Structure 1
C-alpha cells in the first residue's frame, strides 16, 4: 500500500479545484489517499511517469464535471475565465478579424506563445490557412475528460511555442456504455441561443477499450443594436451611404457642400458570432501481447461560421482629367466641373480626388468560413525487462486543416471607378444604386490550409536507486513537418478590390529534435528535475533549451517548489513565407496640418524567410501548504516571471515617420512623400525587434469540508499582475481594444454545497479597475496622452445539478445573474468596449440533461 503525504494530496486537491468556474470535483483518480495498485501517470510538463502529480511546475486541472456545471459549450469559453489569462484572445465574441477561430492566451503573451496539446501530442494549427495557433473550435467539449493547464515555460520538454505555458486537452477513454448529452442556453433578451447534442459510446474487449463519439453545436448570433446599453454615437463613420467626393456632398439645392452626416455602422455587427460545428471522435486502447499496447485517437470537426460587418466603406481614388500628375494616364478620368471647383474640390499631389461611399444598397459584408480539421494519432507502447523496468513508446500523428473562406458583398474598386467615370452624377447625387451600379460588388473567395506530421519515440523509467529513491529519466527523439498555404481571391491579388491587395502564402519547414529529462531525489525532502532539448530546424538552424526544477518538502504540510527554464518560438509559415499584404493603419502624418494628421494610410506588410526564433526565460517559485489543523484545505502560492527577447513583430511605421520628420535621412529612404505631404510606399516588415517582460503572483485556496449534513467546497483563485511590458511600453493595469486587458487583479471565487443527488453552486468573477489610455486633443488640436479610469467589475453565476436517478442528470444555471453591462473603453475593439474581456451578451440561462444507458 502506498500512502501519500499530506502535501502530495494537497497538490492533487489544488490542481483539480482550480477550475474555470470555481466548481470542482475531486476525482478518485487524483484525490484518493490510498490505492491498491500504484499507476504511474504522465503529468503535463514532464515525460517522466510518476505516481502522483507532485512536480515543481504549477498545473491547473479542469475536469468534465466542472465544464458541465458551468454550461461551457466551447473550450475557449472555459479557458477565458481563468485568472491566468490576459490580453484579449479571439473567440465567439470577436466579430472583426477572427475568421471564426477561438484561441487561448496565457498571461496575455499571445496565442502563438501558448502550446496546445491533445492527449499530450501537438494539435495542428487551424483557421483560414497558414495559421500560427490552434483553433480550439476543432476540439468538441463532449470529448473532453479534463484540461491540464501548465503555467510554466516548457520548451525543454515540448519544443517551440511553449513559452507562456501549455494547455493539454485529455479526451475521454475507457468508456463503457452509451451516453447522450443535451445542452441549451439563451439570453433573457430572447437571442444568443446555443444548442448542443452529443453521443458517446464505448465498450471493453479483452485487454482493450473502444470509445466513439459524435457532437453537434449550433450557436446563434447577437447583434450590437439589440442591447439597450449600446450607444450609436460610439460607432459612427464619416463614410455615408449617399457618398461624398473629397468629403463634399450635393445638397437639396444642387450645390456641393461639406459633409456633416455620419453613419451608424453597428446595427449590422455581431456581439456573438454564429457558428455551427459537427464533430466525430474516437479513442482506442488494445493490448497486443508481450506487454505491448496499441493506442489511437482520431478527431474530425467541420466548422461553418459567420461574422458580419457594415456594408463596405468603399474609398475610390479617381484620376482627374488633364492633370499631369496622374500616374496612369491610360486609365479613366473624372472631369471636375465648375460646381466642384467652386466648392474647393481639387486633385491631390497625384492628380486624384477621393470618392467615399458606404455600399449599404449592396448589403453588409458577410464573412463566412467552412473549415475541416482532421487529426489521427497512433502509437505503440511497451515495457522492457531492464533493471527495475523501463517503458518505451513510438507515436505518429497526422493533422490537417482545410478552409474555404469568403466575404459576400465585397466591392471591385476598378469596376466601381469605371462606373463613376462613365456616369459620375449617378453616383454623386446620393440616389440609391441601380442594379447595374450594384454589379461592382462580388463575393470574395479564398482557400487555405495547414498540415502537420510528427513521428516520435521515447524511453523512460528508472536508472538506478539512491538512498532517497530511484532516479527517473526520459529520453526521446522527434521529427515534425509543418506546412501551410493561403490563396486570396484573384481580385484581391490583382489589387482590384477595395480591400487591400494581398499575395498568396505558401511554405513549409521541418525540425528534428532530441530531448532528455532526469528526476533526482537528492534527499527524502529535496528532488531535482532537469531537462534538456535540442531542436534542429530546416529554416534558422538549432535551438537548445533547458529546465531546472527543485521541490523541497519541508514538512508533511509544506512543500516549496521552483523552476527556471529557457524557451523559444520558431517563426511560423506565414511569418517566414507570407505574401505581401496591404493594411490601412491608423497613423499620424506630421507633414499635414494638425487637424488632418491622423487617419488610415495604406501600409505594405511583408514577411521574412530569415527570421530568427524568439527566445525566452521563465522563472517560477512557490509553495503548497496543507495545514494539519484544517482538514481538507490546500493553499498554493506561486510567483512567476516570463521574459521574451527577439520577439517577432512588425517595424513601427510611426517611429520611422517621426524620425524622418525630425531629420533622419535614413528613415526617410523607407517611404515616399509628395510635396503636399501625401505618404505612399510605406512598408512594415516582420523583424526580431520585439520584447515582452511580465511577472505576477498566483494564489489558490481550496477547502472541502462537511457542515450541517452537507458537503461544502470552497475555491478561490487570484492572479496579481506585477507588470506587463511589451516593446518597451508598460501595459500594466491598462485596457485597450488593440492590446486587450492587463488588470492588476483577477479573482475567481466559488462555493458549492451538496448532498447525495443534488448540489448548488455560486461563483463570481472579478476584474479590477484599469486605466484607459488614449490620445486626446487640446483646444489647439495638439495631441496629448489622456488617461481615464475604467471601473472594476464583478460577475455572478449560479447553478445547480440534480441526479434524477442512476442514469439521468439535469443541470440548470444562470451566467451574469445581475446582468452586468460591459464597461466603456475609449479605444475599444467593438461598440466602445472590449468584448473579449467584458460580457456583451448579458444574462444567460442554460440547462442540460445527461442520460446514460
Structure 2
C-alpha cells in the first residue's frame, strides 16, 4: 500500500510537468524577452511568487549577520532568545531524560513543538525526536554556520504548508550562492572554565553561466557542565517552611543511600539519620552525579546545486547530513526499591525473609523487634553506586535530500515539482541498569559446602550468579555487578517522504491593482516511525522504566490553491485553501484570508484570519506506553474531616483516606509518599486532529525615512488540542466533580493503596483541551549616522501576552497560564549596533518579565506539601551581551564577544515546582545557566 501511494503521488506530481511540456513545447525553444523579465521571489507564508516582500501576516527575519553577532553556534540558542519562541527541549532540560537527551526544539507562542512547522528552504524537514516521545525538528541538525537567514511567520498557515503550522512557521534559508571558499571558526568558554564550545566550518562554492553549486562541512563540540560546578545546582533544593512558617529554599537529599535503608535503619542495622542537613545525614546528594548542560558533539555536511537546463528549466538539489553525539551524559546511580523485584506487575512474588543469610544480625534483631518478618513489609531501598552512574551514550544521524525541477512555463507561470526524503536514526545505550530477573536469583542464597554464601539455584550459579549483598556501603562485589549489570539498548527511527508539485503565476485578468496571482498544487506526505526500548525494558526485567515499543505509519494527500487579489493599487486580498486526506483521521479543510490596505505610502494596515489543523503524529497515535515518575500533586493531600469542598468530600469517600483522617486528623503525605507515584503515559489510536482558529490585526508604519514600526495583535484558539494531559490535571479533573459523577479510580487511570496513598496515575494522548492565547507583537527599527562615531542601528522586539488559557473540554475548567514562567507577560529584545569604519560594536539586551511558577497551585513546599506562596514569584531577569567585529582585510573578519556580561545567576526553581528542571534547579528555557561566557572567532574568505 505504501509503495502504491508513493508511486501514485510521484505520478500525479510529474504528470503535471509532462502535460504542460507536451502542450507548450514552444516555450522550451523561445527565450523570453530580457526587458520583460522581472525577478519574482517566494515570500514565507505564500507559494505565489511576487516582486516585493509585502505580507498580510507578520514575519520577523533574523539575518546571518545577527546570528554571527550573537556568538551562538547552535540554531536552538539563536531561537531561544527570540521573544516569540521558547525552547521546549534543550541541552539542560533534557539532562534527566533518556531518549530525548541532548535534543534541541523550539515552539512559537509556547503552543508546542508539534504546532510549529519547521521548513528548510521552504520545504519540510524530518523530525528528530524519538517517535515514542513526540514530534519536532531537532535544531542540532541545522548548524547555524550554514544559515543565510531565518524567517519567522507568526501566523497559522496550514492552508499554505499543511498540517502542523498551527502556531506559525519557521523557514530556515540556507546559504546557496557561494563564490570561492569561506572558513569560519570560533572558540568559547565560560568564565568558570567549562562549557567549552569549539566550531569550525568550511564552505566552498562557485557560479557559472548556467548555475551554481556549493558544499559545506563542519564540526562543533560543547563540553557541557556538571551540576556540582555551579552553586545553584550543587545540591537538590526545595522550598521548606522555617520556624516562622516563612518559605525558604533548603537542600534536599535522597533517602535512597549507598549503604541502603530498610525502614528506619541503615543497611547494617544502625539507625538511619533522616536529617536534610549535609552534616551527618545518612541521605545522598544526587546532584554530585548530574549534568547541568549535556555535552554535545556534531559533525555535519551539506551540498547543493542549481543548474539551468535551458532558459526555462532549472534543476535543483540539496542534501544535508548531521551526526549528533552525546557521550558521558550522566545522572546519579540507580535508586533501587528492592521490593520491585517481587512486585506482581513484573511477575514477582514473595520477598526477602528477615532470616535470610544476607541480612546482618543487628538489622534482623531490630526488624524482628518491630514485628517485621519479611522485608517487603517495609521500605527497602538502596543507591546502586557500585554499578556507576546512569549514563546515556546516544547518537542521532539525520539525512535529508531534496530535489526538484522548476520550469518557467511562460513569462507569467512557473511549475515547481520536488521531492524530499529524510530519516533520523537514533541509537542509544544506557548504563547503570540492573537485570531484575537475575537479581531474584542473587537474593535467594544459601550457605555452601565451603561455608560461604552462594546462590541457591544451581543453573543460576552456572550462569555466574553470586549473592547480591546490598546491606551496607560498598558491599556489592564486582562479581555481582558483572552478573547483574545489563546495558539498556534502544533504537529509534523517523522517516519522512514528500512529493509536491506547485504551479504559480498570474491570471489574464486584471483588477484595479494589477493581475490576479495564483498558486495551486498537490502534495503527498508519508511519515513513519519506530522505537524499540530493548527486550528487558519491554518486559520490566530491567531496572529502567518499563516501556512498550512504538511502530506506526500514516500518509496524507493534500490539494491546495492560493489567490492574491490586488483590488486596487492600495488594497490587496489574499486567499488560500487546502484539503487534506489523512490515512488515519480522514479529511480536513483549512483556509487563510489576508487583507492589506495602504491609505498612504508610509502606512500599511493588515489583517488575517486562518483555520489551521494539526493531525496526530506517530507519537500521538502509536507511542508505546511507558512508565513515568514525574511529579504528581494529590488533591486529597491535607484533607480533614471538617473540609466540605467537593474535592474533599470525594477524597473522604475513599475508605483508605477516610481511615487515615480518622486516625491522624488529616490525610497528610510524607515526602516519600508524595514523590513515589508511578504510572504510564503513551499514545492512543483514538486521537483525532486538532483545529485552530486565529486572527490578527496590524499596522506597518514608516514614520521616518530611517525609522519603522510594526504592531500586530494576535489571537489563537486551538480546539480538541492533542496533548498528554499531566497526571496532576487528570487528578484535578477527576476529583473536582459532583459526588454522582465522581468515580474513585478515575475510569481506571488511578490506583491507590489500602492506606489511600496514590500508587499509579496514568495518562496519555487525547483531545481533551482547548488552548487560547492572544497578545501583541511590536517591532521597531531605527538607523542614523552619528557624526564622528559612525552608523547607529537600533531594533526593538517586544511580545506582550494578554491571554494564555487551557480549558478542559469535558469539565470546562479554565487553567490560566498567563504570567507563568513559560508565558511571561512581557519579553523584550533590544539590539544596538554601531559601525565605525571596519569596526562594528553590538549590544544586545534581553528581558524576561517577572513571572510565577504556577497560577493554579501546581507546586508544593516540602514541609506540608501545600502550594507555594511568596516563592511562587520569580523576579524579572535582564541579560546583556556585547560583541565586536573587525574587518581586518577585505577577506578576513575577526569577532569576539561576551554573553551574559553581568554574570546573572538564574533564579532558584527547585523540586516541587512546576517549571524547575530536575538536577538544574531553574527553568533553562528562560534563564541562562552557563554564566558569563567569552568567545572569539574569525571568518576568512578566499
TM-score (ref. length: structure 1): 0.89
**Partner residue of 2:205 out of 202, 205, 211:** 202
Is residue 2:326 matched to residue 1:305?
yes
Is residue 2:426 matched to residue 1:403?
yes
What are the superposed Cα offsets for residues 511-564 of structure 1, whole Å, 9 maximum, x if unpaired?
Answer: 000001101011221110111000000000001101111011121111111111
**Match of 1:119?**
121
SS of aligned partner of 2:108: coil
- The 1-side partners of 2:542 and 2:684 are apart by 25
Is contact 1:244-1:259 (8 Å) kept?
A: no
SS of aligned partner of 1:747: strand
Is contact 2:581-2:587 (8 Å) kept?
A: yes
Is contact 2:734-2:743 (8 Å) kept?
A: no
User: Aligned-pair distance for 1:69?
Assistant: 1.4
- The 2-side partners of 1:711 and 1:804 are apart by 19
Change beyond 3 A, Cα 1:91–1:106 = farther
SS of aligned partner of 2:631: strand
User: Aligned-pair distance for 1:231?
Assistant: 5.2
What are the superposed Cα offsets for residues 336-374 of structure 1, whole Å, 9 maximum, x if unpaired?
Answer: 6452132465779xx654421112222211112111110
SS of aligned partner of 2:105: coil
**For structure 1, which segment, 600-609 or 744-753, has the greater mean C-alpha deviation from structure 2 after superposition?**
600-609
**Match of 1:415?**
438
**Match of 1:772?**
853
**Match of 1:427?**
470
**Partner residue of 2:592 out of 547, 556, 576:** 547
Is residue 2:409 matched to residue 1:384?
yes
- The 1-side partners of 2:695 and 2:385 are apart by 53
**Match of 1:605?**
681
User: Aligned-pair distance for 1:418?
Assistant: 3.8
- The 1-side partners of 2:577 and 2:346 are apart by 59
Change beyond 3 A, Cα 1:672–1:127 = closer
**Match of 1:96?**
96
Change beyond 3 A, Cα 1:112–1:326 = closer
User: Aligned-pair distance for 1:732?
Assistant: 1.0
User: Aligned-pair distance for 1:238?
Assistant: 2.1
- The 1-side partners of 2:859 and 2:764 are apart by 29
- The 2-side partners of 1:142 and 1:574 are apart by 31
**Match of 2:83?**
83
What are the superposed Cα offsets for residues 447-496 of structure 1, whole Å, 9 maximum, x if unpaired?
Answer: 01011111100110111211221110100000010000000021101101
Is residue 2:768 matched to residue 1:689?
yes
**Match of 2:148?**
145
Is residue 2:784 matched to residue 1:705?
yes
**Partner residue of 1:730 out of 809, 816, 822:** 816
Change beyond 3 A, Cα 1:448–1:104 = same
Is contact 2:225-2:293 (8 Å) kept?
A: yes
**Match of 1:587?**
632
- The 2-side partners of 1:123 and 1:74 are apart by 17
Is contact 2:346-2:539 (8 Å) kept?
A: no
What are the superposed Cα offsets for residues 430-455 of structure 1, whole Å, 9 maximum, x if unpaired?
Answer: 44422133232222110010111111
Is contact 1:93-1:273 (8 Å) kept?
A: no
User: Aligned-pair distance for 1:327?
Assistant: 10
RMSD: 2.6
User: Aligned-pair distance for 1:157?
Assistant: 0.6
Is residue 2:831 matched to residue 1:750?
yes
Change beyond 3 A, Cα 1:471–1:165 = same
**Partner residue of 2:923 out of 825, 834, 841:** 834
User: Aligned-pair distance for 1:583?
Assistant: 1.3
Change beyond 3 A, Cα 1:389–1:553 = same
**Match of 1:25?**
none
Change beyond 3 A, Cα 1:70–1:285 = same
What are the superposed Cα offsets for residues 284-333 of structure 1, whole Å, 9 maximum, x if unpaired?
Answer: 1000015000011100111111432111111221689xx9x999676664
Change beyond 3 A, Cα 1:672–1:753 = closer
User: Aligned-pair distance for 1:653?
Assistant: 3.7
**Match of 2:176?**
173
Structure 2's unaligned 5+ residue stretches are 1-34, 238-251, 276-281, 356-363, 446-452, 454-466, 637-656, 661-666, 808-813
Give runs of aligned pairs for residues 342-357 of structure 1, distance below 5 A. Answer: 342-343=369-370, 345=372, 353-357=378-382
**Match of 1:783?**
866
- The 2-side partners of 1:413 and 1:359 are apart by 13
Give runs of aligned pairs for residues 347-746 of structure 1, distance below 5 A. Answer: 353-385=378-410, 389-422=412-445, 426-439=469-482, 440-463=484-507, 464-588=509-633, 590=636, 591=657, 593-596=667-670, 598-627=674-703, 630-651=704-725, 652-655=729-732, 658=735, 666-668=743-745, 669-670=747-748, 671-677=750-756, 682-709=761-788, 710-727=790-807, 728-735=814-821, 741-746=822-827
- The 1-side partners of 2:274 and 2:219 are apart by 49
- The 2-side partners of 1:598 and 1:199 are apart by 53
Change beyond 3 A, Cα 1:396–1:777 = closer
Is contact 2:804-2:823 (8 Å) kept?
A: yes
User: Aligned-pair distance for 1:776?
Assistant: 7.2
SS of aligned partner of 1:414: helix
SS of aligned partner of 2:517: strand
- The 2-side partners of 1:626 and 1:327 are apart by 68
**For structure 1, which segment, 726-735 or 547-556, has the greater mean C-alpha deviation from structure 2 after superposition?**
726-735
Change beyond 3 A, Cα 1:293–1:680 = same
Change beyond 3 A, Cα 1:674–1:327 = farther
What are the superposed Cα offsets for residues 219-259 of structure 1, whole Å, 9 maximum, x if unpaired?
Answer: 111112112344525153222111112353256xx445564
Is contact 2:302-2:319 (8 Å) kept?
A: yes
User: Aligned-pair distance for 1:681?
Assistant: 6.4
What are the superposed Cα offsets for residues 613-660 of structure 1, whole Å, 9 maximum, x if unpaired?
Answer: 111111111111111xx3210111111111111111235442376369
Which one has the largest radius of gyration?
2
- The 2-side partners of 1:540 and 1:326 are apart by 34
- The 2-side partners of 1:576 and 1:776 are apart by 30
Structure 1's unaligned 5+ residue stretches are 1-34, 736-740
- The 1-side partners of 2:236 and 2:420 are apart by 51
- The 2-side partners of 1:490 and 1:425 are apart by 23
SS of aligned partner of 1:178: strand
- The 1-side partners of 2:676 and 2:468 are apart by 27
Is residue 2:841 matched to residue 1:760?
yes
- The 1-side partners of 2:753 and 2:66 are apart by 61
Change beyond 3 A, Cα 1:393–1:581 = same
- The 1-side partners of 2:55 and 2:859 are apart by 50
SS of aligned partner of 1:554: strand
What are the superposed Cα offsets for residues 26-78 of structure 1, whole Å, 9 maximum, x if unpaired?
Answer: xxxxxxxxx99842111111101111211111111111111111111111000
Change beyond 3 A, Cα 1:672–1:818 = closer
Is contact 2:236-2:287 (8 Å) kept?
A: no
Structure that is richer in strand per residue: 1
Structure that is richer in helix per residue: 2
Is contact 1:420-1:427 (8 Å) kept?
A: no
Change beyond 3 A, Cα 1:584–1:418 = farther
Aligned length: 803
Change beyond 3 A, Cα 1:95–1:555 = same
**Match of 2:934?**
845
- The 2-side partners of 1:468 and 1:333 are apart by 86
Is contact 1:129-1:447 (8 Å) kept?
A: no
Change beyond 3 A, Cα 1:603–1:554 = same
- The 1-side partners of 2:409 and 2:628 are apart by 58
**For structure 1, which segment, 105-114 or 597-606, has the greater mean C-alpha deviation from structure 2 after superposition?**
597-606
**Match of 1:809?**
893
**For structure 1, which segment, 520-529 or 778-787, has the greater mean C-alpha deviation from structure 2 after superposition?**
778-787
Is contact 2:714-2:775 (8 Å) kept?
A: yes
**Partner residue of 1:341 out of 352, 360, 368:** 368
Is contact 1:86-1:742 (8 Å) kept?
A: no
Is contact 1:246-1:345 (8 Å) kept?
A: no
